Amino acid sequence: MAYLGYLRVDGGQFVATSGDYERFVLVGDERYHHIMDPDTGYPARSGLCSVTIVSNSGLLSDALSTACFVLGNEKGMELAEQYGAEALFVGEDGSITMTEGMKSLWMKEK
């Protein structure tokens, strides 16, 4: 497994990540994972494979990482910012998008 980088956080910050890269099953050509879209009842198809959230609450970080994964990059970014959380989105194509504050926490692997 390759790492994208690492986060430098202090003792008052909480980190949570939601992704479809570990818990999934292939049925034919279809990939099913465990993060469900409440609108469809099926696995979320947001174009993302991972969302990491940093906030001042563990519960908030966990909830936002899942919600932002389901919402996708644009709407997920808006939601994270509404709650004052930092976010890092990894697209299925390998693209990385993050909040301005996350840029100061995220360090690329050396």
Domain ranges of the chain: 5-108
Judge whether 41 and 70 are in contact, CB under 8 Å.
no
Q: How far, in Å, are 35, 53, 56 from residue 22 at the CA level?
A: 11, 18, 26
The pLDDT of residue 61 is 97
Q: The domain 5-108: what is its CATH number?
A: 3.10.520.10
Largest Cα separation within the chain, whole Å, is 45
pLDDT digits (tens), the chain, 110 positions: 577 888 999 889 999 999 987 787 889 988 888 899 999 999 999 999 999 999 999 999 999 999 999 999 999 999 999 999 999 999 999 999 999 999 999 887 65
CA nearest to 61, candidates 2, 7, 5, 3: 7
Instruction: State if pTM tops 0.75.
Output: yes
The pLDDT of residue 109 is 62
